[in-house]
Homo-oligomer: A and B are copies of this chain.
Amino acid sequence: MTTDTADAPQASLSGRLAELESRLLAGDRRALARVLSWVESGDERGREMLRALYPRSGRARTIGLTGSPGAGKSTVTNELAKSFRARGQTVGIVAIDPSSPYTMGAILGDRVRMTELYSDEGVFIRSLASRGALGGLSAATQDVVHILDAYGKDVILIETVGAGQDEVDIAGAAQTTILVNTPNMGDEVQTLKAGIMEIADVLAVNKSDLPGADRMVSALKALLSLNPDRGWDPPVVRIVGTKGEGIDKLTEACDSHFEELQSSGKLKAAELARARQQITSLARANVLNRMRTKTGEQRLADLSEAVASRRADPHSAAAAWLADS
């Protein structure tokens, strides 16, 4: 076994794609939008562009935001973006929560707040609606993040609802994961997807001007104390997203976590884990998806015929089928 294939030089792009790549790298938002659409829909051109652009990724900081619907994640994402912008950093936002105002249109108040970001050239917002992407939502999201990273965004915020395993994977793949809670969630803390506390690096108590904020902070700290051996003590930060209160503290908490990742050497381990997770989910999805494509179906029919007529044994046929890409 060698890593030849993986280490092979990147194939060069054909004329039109090469031109699109140049435009994207020069900051052309329309070129970026087109490439992201291809990546999302599993278009082969998206894969080619990703192959070409991926070596330029790896610079951006990635921050995942997750939590129950109604926790105010979009507002917090919004405020965090403004906070990074105020420092002069460029921001990419990837919204996966289907109830996010980025995804499905916002109520008036949200729109007003978000207008600032939409008109800022330093911010690029992308909602991922499609769940039909090759390799699943998690792999598609990571590809979108890679492209925004190669495009040059300094910070990428990934907003997802903490509902399913896919969403937990997505949030967990970011360097820093913020779990957004609210005082009025009450018993809902218990119903949060198991494992979501384990991936949280920073806890935000949003709407902390509401009654019950103290109780929520205590409850979260109690939950965190059940899992003390993580080498990092996740801070619990009170914020009021709609007023921008506490956002600087949240940004600072993210910075502290990132510095800890760097100094402890965990950043590299996390990047390896993310790469591994994406490879295996793509590999698994690849096998399942192949059965649903016309060429994959034809190839399987040919191999079945070869096995049935004893020209190939089943194991060699299975290996040959897997070797096709």
Which of chain B's residues has its CB closest to A318's CB? B282
Of the 9-residue stretches A48-56, A190-198, A245-253, which lies at the interface with chain B?
A: A48-56
User: With A and B bound together, what is the CA distance between A8 and B312 in angstroms?
Assistant: 8
Q: Contact between A57 and B310 (Cβ–Cβ < 8 Å)? A: yes
Asked if A120 is at the interface of the complex by the 8 Å CB criterion, the answer is no
Which of chain B's residues has its CB closest to A311's CB? B7
User: With A and B bound together, what is the CA distance between A316 and B49 in angstroms?
Assistant: 12
Q: Contact between B299 and A1 (Cβ–Cβ < 8 Å)? A: yes
Which residues of B have CB within 8 Å of A300? 276, 279-280
Of the 9-residue stretches A66-74, A160-168, A228-236, A284-292, which lies at the interface with chain B?
A: A284-292
Asked if A19 is at the interface of the complex by the 8 Å CB criterion, the answer is no
Q: Contact between A50 and B315 (Cβ–Cβ < 8 Å)? A: yes
Asked if A322 is at the interface of the complex by the 8 Å CB criterion, the answer is yes
Q: Is the interface of A mostly helix, strand, loop or mixed?
A: helix
Q: Contact between B283 and A322 (Cβ–Cβ < 8 Å)? A: yes
Number of interface residues of A (CB under 8 A): 65
Asked if A320 is at the interface of the complex by the 8 Å CB criterion, the answer is yes
- Shortest Cβ distance from A4 into chain B, in angstroms? 8
- Shortest Cβ distance from A284 into chain B, in angstroms? 6
Q: Contact between A303 and B317 (Cβ–Cβ < 8 Å)? A: no
- Write out, one digit per residue, whether chain A residues 188-224 have a CB within 8 A of any chain B CB (1) or not (0): 0000000000000000000000000000000000000
Q: Contact between A6 and B276 (Cβ–Cβ < 8 Å)? A: no
Q: Contact between A307 and B5 (Cβ–Cβ < 8 Å)? A: no
Q: Contact between B7 and A308 (Cβ–Cβ < 8 Å)? A: no
Known: A268-B308, A279-B303. A6 touches B287 (CB 8 A): no
User: With A and B bound together, what is the CA distance between A268 and B307 in angstroms?
Assistant: 12
Known: A317-B279, A318-B279. A55 touches B7 (CB 8 A): no
Q: Contact between B6 and A306 (Cβ–Cβ < 8 Å)? A: yes
- Shortest Cβ distance from A90 into chain B, in angstroms? 20
Q: Contact between B3 and A310 (Cβ–Cβ < 8 Å)? A: no
Q: Contact between A50 and B302 (Cβ–Cβ < 8 Å)? A: no
Q: Contact between B321 and A51 (Cβ–Cβ < 8 Å)? A: no
Known: A313-B54, A317-B279, A318-B282. A305 touches B272 (CB 8 A): yes
Centre residue among A135, A286, A316 by max chain B CB count within 10 A: A316
Q: Contact between B271 and A6 (Cβ–Cβ < 8 Å)? A: no
Known: A276-B304, A310-B54, A324-B1. A283 touches B6 (CB 8 A): no
Which residues of B have CB within 8 Å of A299? 1, 3
A residues neighboring B (CB under 8 Å)? 1, 3, 5-8, 10, 47, 50-51, 54-58, 135, 139, 142-143, 146, 268, 271-276, 278-280, 282-284, 286-288, 291, 295, 298-308, 310-325
